[in-house]
Chain A
Amino acid sequence: MSDETRKVAFICSKGTLDMAYPALVMGWAALGNGIDVTIFFTFWGLDIINKARVDHLELAPVANTSMKMSMMGIKTGNLGIPNLLGVLPGMTAFATSLMKNKMKGLEVPPVREYLQMLVDAGAKLYACKMSVDMMGLKKEDFVDGVLDIVTAGDFMDMTEGAQIIFI
């Protein structure tokens, strides 16, 4: 094994509850194995580090072909949640609470706590400047641990030699 520390960088571009977890889970595993972790939040991914949004990330059943009725414990095989039902008020909240409960059952921490664990373990978090400007956000809008608002070019500079994973 080489002496140089392996580096991994994640680009989080989605703000749904299901898309917040991949970088958190893999980032945590990387830190536990001594790998340097940088996470760049862009576009909707900014919701994951937005103080006002992080506890309210959601999962919509509409057009989600992987979400099956059987996830609710109803033995219906491949039958999906009909899109027509998915548009009903409350269905997004329902799907969200379903996923949150399943995560809790696996002892997976909520997103805010997970982010803090990563920061405590040394992960470096950055927000994308263009997205921040587009959404009218400021550094104070982000959770503790977000180091800075940086440009795409800065991100490229700081991740030289890293494996980059786009989510």
Chain B
Amino acid sequence: MATRVIAGKTVQVNDEGFMTDPSEWTKEIAVEYAKEEGIAELTADHWKIIEFCRQSAATSGKAPTLRTITAGTGVSTKELFTLFPKGPAKKVAKISGLGKPEGCV
């Protein structure tokens, strides 16, 4: 398993750069990942989604799908695609320190 240093911490990642141990995640890591994904600043709306994903994964053991996110947070599809432009599925999961979402919806 590969590792990388991000926000001053060494974490385990897979070959696509997703963290493989959610417990290694910190908010500082999220900020760094977001920058790499082209999101300069994480706003309160971003954090609401990230925190929902963290909680959802803690319960289910996997990253939530986009529809689970919109249903669970009340954030609309439009807002979700505006907050995390050009491919929210992978971006949200990566920033939240989770694997790619499992499930098609």
Which residues of A are interface residues toward B (Cβ below 8 A)?
A: 5, 25, 28-29, 31-35, 106-109, 116-117, 120-122
CA distance A35 to B88 in the complex (A): 11
**In the complex, chain B residues whose CB is within 8 Å of the CB of A35:** 87
29 A-B pairs within 8 Å (CB atoms) are namely A5-B86, A28-B66, A28-B104, A28-B105, A29-B89, A29-B104, A31-B81, A31-B87, A32-B87, A32-B88, A32-B89, A32-B90, A32-B101, A33-B87, A33-B89, A33-B90, A34-B85, A34-B87, A34-B90, A35-B87, A106-B105, A107-B67, A108-B104, A109-B67, A117-B67, A117-B77, A120-B76, A120-B77, A121-B78
CA distance A32 to B76 in the complex (A): 14
Q: Are B105 and A25 in contact (CB under 8 A)?
A: yes
Q: Are A109 and B81 in contact (CB under 8 A)?
A: no
Contact of A120 among B81, B85, B89, B90 (CB under 8 A): B81
**In the complex, chain B residues whose CB is within 8 Å of the CB of A33:** 87, 89-90
CA distance A25 to B104 in the complex (A): 7
Q: Report how many residues on chain B are interfacial, defined by Cβ distance under 8 Å.
A: 15
Q: Are B67 and A120 in contact (CB under 8 A)?
A: no
Least CB distance, A2 to chain B, in whole angstroms:
14
Q: Are B78 and A120 in contact (CB under 8 A)?
A: yes
What is the chain B residue whose CB lies nearest that of A5? B86
Q: Are A121 and B77 in contact (CB under 8 A)?
A: yes
**In the complex, chain A residues whose CB is within 8 Å of the CB of B105:** 25, 28, 106-109
**In the complex, chain A residues whose CB is within 8 Å of the CB of B101:** 32
Least CB distance, A75 to chain B, in whole angstroms:
27
Please encode chain B, from 54 to 95, with 1 for each CB lying within 8 Å of some chain A CB and 0 for all others: 000000000000110000000011100100011111100000
What is the chain A residue whose CB lies nearest that of B65? A32
